[in-house]
Amino acid sequence: MYDLTLIFPYFDDGRSKSFKFPPLGIGYIASYLMMHGYKVRIIDCTFKKPEDVISEASHSKVVGIYSMLSMVRPALDIASALKEKVELLVAGGPMPSAYPVKFIDTFDIVVQGEGEETMLEIMKEFDGDMHFERVKGLHLSSKIVKKTAQTISANGCGNFFTGQRSLIKNLDILPFPARDLYDNNLYKQYYRRNYGYTMTSMIASRGCPFSCGFCWRPDYGRVYRVRSPENIVDEMEEIQYKFGYERIWFADELFIANKRHTLRLCQEIIDRRLDIMWECLARADLMDADLAKAMKRAGCHKIIFGLEAGDDHTLQLMNKKLKVKQSKNAVYTAVKAGIKVGAFFILGYPGETNESMLKTIKMASSLPLDYFSMTVPYPLPGTKLYETVKDKMLVEEWEKPLHGYDHRLLFKHEFSIEKLKYGMWKAVTQAKMRRKLGPFYIFLKPWEFYTDHKFKKMA
Ligand code: B12
């Protein structure tokens, strides 16, 4: 019997060969609770079948389920199936934090924000006298409120939200995620089969000081907190030596936010002679030649920039605070340092025109990128983008699981999904042709003009 089961409700249907990572957030909660003496297990659904999850999860009285945009439906379905079987159902993660009302009828408690300390306090109340209203950062369901009604009215917390919890100031106090509880062998097999090497994720910082219109981060806010270089490298060593992974993917939203810190981290990796390759996400305007060289020396294999658009006005609409020129410079700087470069783009941001989208397609296909991904805009509740389109949301679309290969519009758009998918196909095809044909690509220019024209004509 476990005290707590934590579920990551992502079911891989085998169609996508994209990166897959074990859930770091619930790995952190698990290790934090284990440090305090609780018996915890993680059910990562990535390589499982839905029917197996319910019977496995019924073995503990308290179950916590993660959710983000793409996992709303499976999280709600698992919770409904477990409702009569377990005593306390807790939702947490980006989506419950952003949109608690969606979860509060199915779950007993919805956690807003960081989960380590909150989940520990929930467990203490569960083992004690169930006064969950004392725990900061909770939305309480009517079932829980009824149980504690007296205290709630006495405390004046009639709105069922127990109040904002402050952020963990020093991330170094957290134990590393409970990697022993992940299906490491299945992940390694997946990577070996599809990429020829093994890789897992870790996170060196939380938060991001920028406020891009499409990005959701109200739980960590714009407060950027970073672990010390020593603490980060300790975990990198654990991943390499104890768990035997060959590469690390840093899940930080902005790995290079502080240049001095990144340089110190690179030096620590070099001093400790770590021999593991790593990849990270970065902003183009923060990249320079010194940083790129230091990162390369410390084992950085790939940087993925959020370039988003090839048009300055669109970048402005996104509140990206970036110029196309800076994006191009960053890509060439990293490539010159010997680092492979990837990029993320969004096609069809509200306010875009045919011309702006064609600029993005051209940029994605002509820069020396090792990889790029292009998606339609996904309006996450709590973002500026969501505010712009919230009256046009297609509710049924929103709840279906989302896969990287399956682009869907979650709101009524002035452009059709067929047009946007055509644009993405064009970008990928153009990039492949350019790479294959080199200077002879010139012979494909008529094809480029024809497909530009076809794209413009599409509704
Ligand atoms: C790694 C990552 C991925 C990976 C895989 C996800 C994985 N296995 O974790 C990949 C690359 C596949 C991916 C894809 C997508 N992602 Co993503 N991804 C991330 C990223 C960069 C890191 C996640 C992470 O490890 N965080 C670190 C941990 C420590 O934080 P955490 O997960 O939030 O957990 C804390 C709290 O949320 C809470 N908590 C978490 N779970 C639980 C559970 C309980 C019970 C409780 C009480 C608390 C709790 O406590 C944790 C510790 O403090 C985040 C951004 C970020 N930095 O979080 C985006 C993020 C999660 N992704 C996001 C999105 C939108 C997507 C996509 C939909 C993008 C797209 N348009 O295609 C796809 C979906 C693909 C899919 N198939 O599901 C959004 C989600 C926003 C939202 N409101 O739902 C985020 C937040 C990015 C952003 N800022 O907008 N993603």
pLDDT of residue 220: 61
**Does ligand 1 have an atom closer than 6 angstroms to the CB of 369?**
no
Q: Does residue 380 lie in a domain region?
A: yes
The pick from 17, 62, 69, 182 for probing ligand 1's pocket by mutation, whose C-beta has the most ligand atoms within 8 angstroms, reads 69
Instruction: Let me know whether 57 and 127 are in one domain.
Output: yes
**Does ligand 1 have an atom closer than 6 angstroms to the CB of 378?**
yes
Instruction: Let me know whether 284 and 136 are in one domain.
Output: no
Q: What is the pLDDT of residues 242-256, one digit of tens each?
A: 999 999 999 998 899
The model carries a pTM of 0.93
Closest CA to 302 of 330, 270, 339, 334: 339
Q: Does residue 166 lie in a domain region?
A: no
Q: Does residue 421 lie in a domain region?
A: yes
Q: Does residue 172 lie in a domain region?
A: no
The pick from 42, 45, 70 for probing ligand 1's pocket by mutation, whose C-beta has the most ligand atoms within 8 angstroms, reads 70
Q: Does residue 248 lie in a domain region?
A: yes
Q: Does residue 160 lie in a domain region?
A: no
Confidence label for 404 from pLDDT (cuts 50, 70 and 90): low
Alpha-carbon 380 to chain mean position: 12
Please tell me the distance between residue 215's alpha carbon and the centre of ligand 1 in angstroms.
Answer: 11
Instruction: Let me know whether 202 and 148 are in one domain.
Output: no
CATH number assigned to the domain comprising residue 240: 3.20.20.70
Confidence label for 408 from pLDDT (cuts 50, 70 and 90): confident
**Does ligand 1 have an atom closer than 6 angstroms to the CB of 116?**
yes
CA dist 38 and 48 (Å) reads 25
CATH number assigned to the domain comprising residue 57: 3.40.50.280
pLDDT of residue 196: 96
**Does ligand 1 have an atom closer than 6 angstroms to the CB of 182?**
no
Which residue, judged by its Cα, is nearest atom 37 of ligand 1? 93
Q: Which domain, by its residues, includes 124? A: 2-155
Mean pLDDT over each residue of the chain, to the nearest integer = 92
CA dist 226 and 84 (Å) reads 41
Residues 6+ apart with CB under 8 A from 218: 97, 98, 382
pLDDT of residue 32: 98
Instruction: Let me know whether 151 and 204 are in one domain.
Output: no
Task: Give me the number of domains the chain comprises.
Answer: 2
Q: Does residue 184 lie in a domain region?
A: no
pLDDT of residue 146: 74
Task: Tell which wins on pLDDT, 52 or 321.
Answer: 321
Torsion of Cα atoms, 189 then 191 then 196 then 199, to 10°: -120
CA dist 407 and 394 (Å) reads 14
Q: What is the pLDDT of residues 300-353, one digit of tens each?
A: 999 999 999 999 999 999 999 999 999 999 999 999 999 999 999 999 999 999
Q: What is the pLDDT of residues 56-75, one digit of tens each?
A: 888 899 999 999 988 999 99
Instruction: Let me know whether 203 and 148 are in one domain.
Output: no
Instruction: Let me know whether 268 and 398 are in one domain.
Output: yes
Which residue, judged by its Cα, is nearest atom 22 of ligand 1? 251
CA dist 386 and 136 (Å) reads 27
pLDDT for residue 438 is more than 70: yes
Please tell me the distance between residue 451's alpha carbon and the centre of ligand 1 in angstroms.
Answer: 35
φ/ψ bin of 389: left (φ > 0), alpha (ψ from -120 to 50), beta (otherwise): alpha
Instruction: Name the token pair of 80.
Output: 């409904």
